[in-house]
Structure 1
Amino acid sequence: MLKKRIIPCLDIKDGQTVKGVNFVDIRNAGDPIELAKRYVKEGADELVFLDITATVDGRKTFAALVEQIAHEINIPFTVGGGISSIEDVNILLNAGADKVSINSAAVRTPSLVKEIADEFGSQFVVVAIDAGLVDNEWKVFIKGGREATELDVFEWAKKVEELGAGEILLTSMQNDGTKAGFAIDLTNKLSADLRIPVIASGGAGSSEHFKEVFEQTEATGALAASVFHFGEIPIPKLKAFLSNQNIDIRL
């Protein structure tokens, strides 16, 4: 049984950490290097870095910033944004990333998932799925949540698992930034369907929400941003609370 993971997310725009609601209304949340150092001290299990406008701007992830952050931390580090080739993955690996997260590029070129898995190993490939409701059905969105596709979230997740993805980062766009709780039904169905780990993302607003997602779904990780960045939920207190609720967590 995998221990449950608490994962802060650094959404990066123009070199700064930002946070929005439902993928819009973006505001500044601080210096990414200082935040990363703080999360290591607080006992975060992993860190995710997403360059949220790289794909839309048609550029690559800021490898120099990735390198600076990697230099300061000693926990698993996942990097995403603007990755579209094995060469991009190589650059980020050399900069200090432990895993890469791909979303739009995986939708455009599904074979890229297999290429990365074959070259580096499945454990290196995280497929991020931004899920949004279209006519009451969960569809995959790309380009930072700006563009809907015809892909069914559950079918797509099964496909990328077969292609070699080692993990899914599942974000509910409906819940993102609302602090109203994770998308339990969506996360439960997806995590029960797959053999690979699923990280739940979008909607964390209280310690109780983390308890719910771990108790009511098979997600092995829960990701959040603003509640950690602004000190609303200190990670040590969250972990102590979860441990007291008999949830298997690293203390």
Structure 2
Amino acid sequence: MLRHRVIPALLLRKGGLVKTRRFKDPVYVGDPTNAIRIFNDKEVDELMVLDIEATRSGAGPDFGAIELFAGECFMPLAYGGGIQTLDQAARIFDLGVEKICLQTAALSDVSLVTRIAERYGSQSVIVSIDIKRDWRKRPWLYGSYSKKLLTLDWLGHANKMTQAGAGEILLNVVDRDGMMSGYDVELVRSLAGSVQVPIIALGGAGNLDHMREAVVAGASAVAAGSMFVFHGPHRAVLITYPRYQDMERMLDISK
């Protein structure tokens, strides 16, 4: 088993699988159920499904789709998008999802993190923190719902989330999203030095070298989207996943 999880992060929009660049311009890349079946065959460590429209549209989680995804998955599944209440989280867990990912709701109601963690355990709660750098390259919390920079101290917010009960922090960097140019390892390193829970790095992976850099910087797991759904310089759609032997070799930082 790999020491560091390698997680495909699938983005949903209106029921379809999409991929963005810097949180903009979603491009349709296929049917999410088909992608899940392919990842089953490739025996991925864990899968993350994030509905990027559920909160903004006000529709909330699509429980029918979530039930379908959970029924198809042979691996642990994390779901995020539109979750605003404990009852919604409970229903999602009842459908077979192992982890809940919160972002907007955690910003507006930190008690939701605590209530979910108290009922289902901290290991079941991921809080997603989106970071965007300003023109001076300073990192700021970014609200994906409002599409604005937030004035909260981002490391302070991360610590508040872990104190509230979050078992993992998903660090997603807006400027690296979909660019396949590497993770923002400086931010990974800063977060790893600040919190005591596992960190999932997301945003920028283009190859296993990038993933190794994030692991060396302190990430417990690495997630990616474009790297697993695009192939070649023209970004042709092709669902893929690295060979286990290659990941084991590249991500063993004890060597």
The TM-score normalised by the length of structure 1 is: 0.92
The 5 A counterparts of 1:1-251 are: 3-134=3-134, 135-144=136-145, 146-215=147-216, 217-231=217-231, 234-237=240-243, 239-245=244-250, 247=252
Identity of aligned residues (%): 32
Paired letter, 1:45: D
2:110 and 2:227 map into 1 onto residues whose CA distance is: 33
Give the deviation of 1:247 after TM superposition: 1.1
Instruction: Report if the CA contact (8 A) 2:209-2:250 is conserved.
Output: no
User: Is the 1:23–1:145 Cα contact (8 Å) retained in structure 2?
Assistant: no
Aligned residues of 1:102 and 1:128 also touching (Cα < 8 A): yes
Misfit runs of 4+, over 4 Å: none
Structure 1 residues 106 and 79: CA distance shift in structure 2, 3 A: same
Letter in 2 for 1:194: V
Listed as ranges, the gaps of 5+ residues in structure 1 are none
Aligned-CA RMSD value: 1.9
Shifted more, 157-166 versus 138-147: the winner is 138-147
SS at match of 2:205: coil
CA contact (8 A) 1:145 1:173 kept: no
TM-score by length of 2: 0.91
Task: Give the aligned residue type for 1:91.
Answer: R
Decide whether the 8 Å contact of 1:17 with 1:28 is kept in 2: yes
Q: Which amino acid aligns with 1:206?
A: N
Give the distance between the partners of 1:159 and 1:20, measured in 2 at CA: 29
Q: Which amino acid in 2 is paired with 1:127?
A: V
**Structure 2: gaps spanning 5 or more residues:** 233-238
2:208 and 2:69 mapped to 1: Cα distance? 27
| Whole-angstrom distance in 2 between the partners of 1:144 and 1:118 | 26
Q: Closer, same or farther in 2 for the Cα pair 1:221/1:168, shift >3 Å?
A: same
